[in-house]
Amino acid sequence: MTNASVREFKMPDVGEGLTEAEILKWYVQPGDTVTDGQVVCEVETAKAAVELPIPYDGVVRALHFPEGTTVDVGTSIIAVEVAGGAAPAQEEAPAAPAPAAEPEQSAEQPAARQPVLVGYGVATSSTRRRPRKQAQDPAAQQAASAVQSELNGHGAAPAAPPAPAAPVAPAAPASSAAPAQRPLAKPPVRKLAKDLGVDLATVTPTGPDGVITRDDVHAAVAAAQAPQQAAPAAQPAAPAAPAPSAAPAAYDSVRETRIPVKGVRKATAAAMVGSAFTAPHVTEFVTVDVTRTMKLVEELKQDKEFAGLRVNPLLLIARALLVAIRRNPDINASWDEAAQEIVVKHYVNLGIAAATPRGLIVPNIKDAHAKTLPELAASLGELVSTAREGRTSPSAMQGGTVTITNVGVFGVDTGTPILNPGESAILAVGAIKLQPWVHKGKVKPRQVTTLALSFDHRLVDGELGSKVLADVAAVLEQPKRLITWA
């Protein structure tokens, strides 16, 4: 190792003061060549999913943790062999167990075949297993990578057993065919298998191209439970236990599923509890005829200024809220508990609550108050698409001042939303439905929705909150107020 050294890349703090992150996906494997700036993995913090680039060129020697592992900030997650210089003592140490066991191989073993097993670092207990893991057929590994890249998952890493079980595993890699049979499954299916304790390598796939489906996982669970239910017959106390599981068989063969609370969902839960029990919430409601707003939406869709932009009712609701804030600026504030001050903000970072597979997130549009309607439409479209793809950055979710949550997309009339921490108000928008409405003295079918505004009663009293909600409703009822009140 006179011409190369091993660099350890540590889990960075990708947010502000975060202490841990979960490894969602590895994009490289031991033996792969990486370059400066190349993304090597995707991690999920308490705020968002973030891709991590490697800061140097080299060959991957080890992945210290498997996918699905939560790692503390500052902990080394990947080792890369770089050219030039002698390896530092602390980086040479992890590779030392291999030469101790097989001294004849130390001089000629290539970098891509270092004794490393994903998820086990370079512990002595798994020294003999790791070289065999790396000795898998490169052609077979490359053949599986195309399908697995499309599925956004790696078969071997999530199924890795805990470190204490490593000594019993050496027999498995002895078969040369084992590494080539990496189970293919989509991330939701992998998570289901992990929650149910199912090893995907033991599941028979029925999906296209040998992909394991949710039904395959449930079938494996049912097959595993069948002998367990028959075995207790010889024991005096056990026969009563299998009986209850037969009753709900028509619903599901599994009575309960435990889902670890971590990442975005864990952070959201903590934030909502803190907000609910810190800020005294008040919620007010108003039902409004938005028929004219819906007509304006259809007209804007035909306007060349909005060509290529997504125009929907949420766009005009957002603009209506911004107009209401301009008319009632004290609503756009926060409570400083330490200083015992109300901080009025002269800018609006408009948050939009978005439901994602990882949980609820609230990215915000910076300086939304200064944007034209087409610019606001473009920002909304980008925000929604980025959230759906799971690419929202931590910075996009920081610094919000007020928030809109659109529960109407689920067919819900309205709700009592909880404030986003650090904000003073949140507007819930219900479903827009055709309902009988008194219009110009006659009952006619009109497009109607219900709005709900929750606010922090420490800094927003009933009068201010009512004025803001009434102004939003007035703009949506008569969209021309977007001009007259501007």
Catalytic positions are 457
Scanning the structure block, which residue is given the tokens 């005009």? Answer: 316
Taking a C-beta distance cutoff of 8 angstroms, is the pair 118, 66 a contact?
Answer: yes
Please enumerate in sequence order all residues whose Cβ is within 8 A of that of 111, keeping only pairs 6 or more positions apart, or say none: 4, 31, 59, 61, 81
* Gap between the Cα atoms of 67 and 63, Å rounded: 10
| Cα separation, 385 vs 335, whole angstroms | 32
- CA 45/CA 20 separation, integer angstroms: 7
Enumerate the β-bridge partners of residue 21: 71
List all residues 6 or more positions away from 314 whose beta carbon is below 8 Å from its beta carbon: 352, 380, 404, 406, 429
Matching residue, tokens 């079980």? 165
Residue 415: how many other CB atoms lie within 10 Å: 18
Exposure string over 434-454, b if 16+ CB within 10 A, otherwise e: eeebeeeeeeeebbbbbbbbb
Q: Are 373 and 314 in contact (CB under 8 A)?
A: no
Q: Are strands 20-26 and 70-72 parallel, antiparallel or unpaired?
A: antiparallel
Task: Please give the structure tokens belonging to residue 313.
Answer: 């009712």
Q: Name which of 286, 282, 323, 278 is nearest 462 in CA terms.
A: 282
Q: What are the strands, taking DSSP E only, across 409-460?
A: 425-429, 433-439, 442-456
Q: Where are the alpha helices (DSSP H) in 69-137?
A: 89-92, 97-101, 129-134
Q: Confirm if 262 and 47 have CB atoms less than 8 A apart.
A: no
- Residues ≥6 apart with Cβ < 8 Å to 445: 434, 435, 436, 437
d(CA 46, CA 259): 16
Four-point Cα dihedral 352, 354, 360, 365, nearest 10: -30
Phi, psi of 306 (to 5 degrees): -110, 15
CA-based nearest residue to 185, from 174, 171, 172, 196? 196
Question: CA-to-CA distance for 105 and 170, rounded, in angstroms?
Answer: 19
